[in-house]
Amino acid sequence: MTLIKSISGIRGTIGGRTGDTLNPLDIVKFTTAYATFIPRKTGKIVVGRDGRLSGHMVRDVVCGTLVGMGFDVLDIGYASTPTTELAVRMSGADGGIIITASHNPRQWNALKLLNSEGEFLTAADGAEVLAIAEKEDFNYAEVDGLGHVTVDNSFDDRHVQSVLDLKLVDVEAIKKAGFKVCVDSINSVGGLILPKLLDKLGVSYQFLNGEVTGDFAHNPEPLEKNLQGIMDEMKTGKYDLGIVVDPDVDRLAFIREDGKMFGEEYTLVSVADYVLSQTKGNTVSNLSSTRALRDVTEKHGGTYAAAAVGEVNVTTKMKEVNAVIGGEGNGGVIYPESHYGRDALVGIALFLTSLAKKGCKVSELRESFPEYQIAKNRIDLTPETDVDAILVKVKEMFAQDPSAQVNDIDGVKIDFPDRWVHLRKSNTEPIIRVYSEAQTMEQADELGKKLMKVVYDMQ
């Protein structure tokens, strides 16, 4: 059983002992701490949830706690993470809580905390919420000061319309192209909102795992090893594109018309290439993302910048460098013209517009970008693992190598002229992520395994 408190929110497995898992008592504690922290202007908080099995229970505890703190709750029901982010802004709420563990397996859930802009709390604000939670010095509302719950199911439609209204989304071009797509929405809220978007875009579609049951048909992380079902379906030749989202619809992966992966790293690259062809500017991704975004950005005359892993770190850097597009190599597209949050709907609409205007196959579009391969490995942590000592050891190993540039703003990343490797403790799981990139998968995996051996030798 696990409870993780990080920049990505309060995340844990359901059930078990208090303090060790995401259970009702801990949900009350962290929700109360958030309600204590958030500046109260309208006295309204938005709550949305993905389709997880535990979502109803967590929603009830969260909403009841907020009402007990004197907040009015705008319950938008089943909702994607970007829908909830937009609902905060559209409703003028003081903040929002998204009940989702994103790509984690079915036994997990989480509280993602938003400010009044519908953006994730900064690291400093998140730390303050955690400090309040640890003190447990709470002050609940008296009976006449209790809040109320209002249900509003309109935000899926409002989210879709906001995507259609983006200047770089060409609805008519997409309709004219007559795309046929296959979608894997992994038994969560993508099965509700994506049909609405695709209908408006005039796209024909077939859904796999479209029922919102929360009982995921496969591991919900949109990686190739988990997507054999849709890859096999694409090989039937009936579709132009395969679309895969995670349970809260902020990550996006594409499958080529021939059943091969487009590459989740290239979701952002392809969308950025289109945006930069229409809007000059800079880009940002995190340290664990492909160099291809840098190459595409420089091709269009812009400047690329890297941020620490974590959506709020990326959005902070994007604002700092005035980026016109950014995101994360895990398939997360952040387009400020819409909002500062990863949004698969925005990514889908921009990608389809680009594909329609270029008039090419998805495989041909993929082949137009610089070729890199990323090996994504992981090391499971034990309670005895000293992650800091491991990272110091790795940093020392390469400090004297003139061909290596070492970056330690988030774990340790070692950049070589033709490849890189990045080790960091996950914000969302009890693991060390080991990402490495090179011209071939063999080279990338070899570099990653070399660093993993150092870690194993220290355990």
Q: Which residue has the tokens 């259970």?
A: 23
102 catalytically annotated:
yes
Long-range (24+ apart) CB contacts under 8 A made by 237-241 are 238/180, 238/182, 238/206, 239/180, 239/181, 239/182, 239/206, 240/179, 240/180, 240/181, 240/355, 240/361, 240/362, 241/179, 241/180, 241/181, 241/182, 241/352, 241/355, 241/362
Q: By the 8 A CB rule, do 261 and 241 touch?
A: no
- Report the first-to-last Cα separation within the chain, whole angstroms: 21
Q: Please tell me the distance from the alpha carbon of residue 204 to that of residue 457, in angstroms, as a whole number.
A: 52
Q: Which two tokens stand for residue 390?
A: 């491991």
Beta bridge partners of 72: 44
Q: Which of 91, 102, 270, 436 is catalytic?
A: 102
Q: By the 8 A CB rule, do 341 and 82 touch?
A: yes
Residue of 299, 257, 256, 258 lying closest to 276 (CA atoms): 299
Residue of 210, 14, 227 lying closest to 105 (CA atoms): 14
Q: Which two tokens stand for residue 22?
A: 């995401």
Active-site residues: which are they?
Answer: 102
